[in-house]
Structure 1
Amino acid sequence: MSDPAWLAEARKYIGTREIKGATHEPKILAWWKAIRRGGIKDDETPWCAAFVGGMLEAVGVISSRFEGAQSYLSWGVPLQEPAVGCIVVLGRAGGGHVAFCVGQDNWGNLLLLGGNQGDEVNISAFARGRVLGYRWPTAVPLPPPGPLLVGQAALSRSEA
């Protein structure tokens, strides 16, 4: 099975990072505009939700159109278990984080492709204990149940 369209789109931006100082990464500013938050004119404002929303909007899926990561807890439909391409909402002190699931590592941590992970777009491991919810776009058929890809297989584009 191939990646959902929004996940394939997200993979194109791995390595995009904030520009320190007065200059700002144009792609990050474009993601703010894509979610109708064009008044945000910098790449220092926490932008994980802008990245997720920008990827969804780029492929014709309406995002939460909000800058808060936890806005995705009421978006789409809930999943009981993670699936490749699902939106994962995480809790953290002072807020949240949102990203796309690409699989799990050898220790069971979720591998998430997201923006503003160390000030860049990358795939990072996150403990399942931080998960507040898994979400899927309402108008898109639900993914088939099954185990997540593990390790290196999860990091590269999955095609079957």
Structure 2
Amino acid sequence: MKILSLLVLLCAFLVLTQTAELGKAEAGPGEEQAEAEAIEESHVAKRAVYCPSGWAKYGSRCYYYVSASYTWAQAENYCVSQGGNLASVHSAGEYSWLQSYILSRTRGYPMTWIGGSDSEQEQYWFWSDGSRLSYRNFCAGMPRSNTGLNCIVMNASGCRCWFDYPCSYRYPFVCVRK
């Protein structure tokens, strides 16, 4: 009796397997592609931008303001430890949002480190995240060609523009991550 039950179960399994394979063959390539696209879409949804607690989202990136005063290198190191870099700014809109974000966190416009530097070669500015420094918001007369002024601080002067300052100065900072 046990052998007979085992054979019945085996036959049922084979019939179900063949039926499933036949159904796939009859479905045609269009339905298989639709199924593959549905699977791919579910993976895309998982890649949507999610900002960790305490971080703020703007566009496709997340920002985090740190009120503690660090040197530029210490601030960059901290941001890297959080999975990002000091903030890079790529448009006037993004800069305006960043200023508003800092205002919401501090109720003011404190001078704040961002990721710009020309420490590798004077007057060749770059962002610490490796992106191109194409948007600039330096104050009048900035950047200066003094070799000791290699890091960008934002919200400088009444214009709240950028100064190049010694990287050893201590300021709060903003991290960014994708």
State the TM-score, normalized to the length of structure 1. Answer: 0.29
State the TM-score, normalized to the length of structure 2. Answer: 0.27
Q: Computing the radius of gyration over CA atoms, which structure comes out larger, 1 or 2?
A: 2
